[in-house]
Amino acid sequence: MAQHPTGHSHDAHGDSHESHGSLKSYVIGFVLSLVLTIIPLVAVLNDIVEGTAARVVLLVTAVLQFVVQLFFFMHLREEKKPRWNLMALILGLVIVLTIVIGSIWIMTYNAVA
Amino acid sequence: MANQGNHAVAGAHGHDHGHGGHHDLEALRQMGFWLFLITDCILFGTLFATYIVLHNNTAGGPTASELFEMPGVIAETFILLTSSFTSGLAVLCMNRGSRKGLIGWLIVTAILGASFIGLEVSEFIKMVDEGAKISTSAFLSGFFTLVGTHGLHVSVGLCWMVALMIQLGKRGITSVTKRKVNVISLYWHFLDVVWIFVFTIVYMMGVM
């Protein structure tokens, strides 16, 4: 009697764990990543877009691919509350963006030559 | 009698709790690894910032567009992307309980990772032969540090993956090895994400 619910809850738990990602979600993620890699390659190397437009295409496709990997490969969307992983990621991104954008900003106005 | 019954229930409960606690511990360890990945993001963030600030300071040496050869880099990109996918397939096999499938896909992932490193090392050797050394210019210092640090991460990941395959062969799929596979696959996806930005910011923006 006591054994049964324990076994049952364990099974249910196992199932919920195994729902982390399916073949479908990995294939979708892979195809989206391929597309998001091919778009900038074709657009920029064939000079379909140039200058600022090319930079925007490159950065947008890179960020989108980052999001695709987070959702389809790293299962960030399936995290249960409280979402510590998401919070840590946001903190990390704030620090990274501060370092990168701050460095560019400061050094742009530090041109000696 | 009643006492004994109580004891049995308490025992069962204790066991259940112990099992849950063990599972929680593995989940906690996986989260600890996630926190490491976030700090690794910050490490790469600083290296990207350094590279971006210095990439025009070529000190009379070769510039990015003169130096980079895209075919090899494009091949590296697709190889690493595919290996990120195959490491996911390894996790799927593990969740189905297939040790053969798990180790098989890990081997595929490791081979793809090794070919990525092979291409990158030959690219670096060629650059150094052409006189583009880490000491040539600030641009190349930033370049070799950023791309080299990523390559080092992939190499460490490869050694780790081989060790994990040996452990999986010995111990099979347990809650501990399961967590280790989950963690290495997170690491591998993370390295692919970093490479996407290396590819975009260093190579694509360098040659356009």
Residues A9 and A38 in one domain: yes
Residues A63 and A86 in one domain: no
Residues A68 and A87 in one domain: no
pLDDT of residue B8: 41
B10 touches chain A (CB under 8 A): no
Can you give the C-alpha Rg of chain A in angstroms?
A: 21
Taking the CB of residue B154, how many other CB atoms lie within 10 A of it? 21
Query: Among A3-7, A16-20, A27-31, A43-47, which range has the highest average pLDDT?
Result: A27-31
Residues A17 and A44 in one domain: yes
pTM of the model: 0.85
Mean pLDDT of each 10-residue bin along chain B, 208 residues long: 42 45 84 95 97 92 91 96 96 93 96 97 95 93 96 97 95 93 96 96 92
At B50, the amino acid letter reads T
Residues A70 and A86 in one domain: no
Domain ranges of chain B: 36-207
Residues A51 and A91 in one domain: no
Cα–Cα distance, B77 to B147 (Å, whole number): 13
pLDDT of residue B12: 41
Residue A48: give the domain boundaries.
3-78
pLDDT of residue B99: 92
Residues A92 and A105 in one domain: yes
**B-chain residues within 8 Å CB-CB of A88?**
34-35, 38
* Topology of domain B36-207, CATH: Four Helix Bundle (Hemerythrin (Met), subunit A) (1.20.120)
pLDDT of residue A46: 87
Most A-contacting residue of B4, B74, B85, B109 (CB-CB within 10 A), to test interface: B85
Q: Do B207 and A89 touch (CB under 8 A)?
A: no
For A23-79, write each residue's pLDDT tens digit: 899 999 999 999 999 999 999 888 888 889 999 999 999 999 999 999 999 988 888
ipTM value of the model?
Answer: 0.83
Residues A70 and A46 in one domain: yes
Residues A17 and A64 in one domain: yes
Residues A11 and A39 in one domain: yes
Count of the separate structural domains present in chain A = 2
Q: Do B38 and A29 touch (CB under 8 A)?
A: no
Residues A16 and A67 in one domain: yes
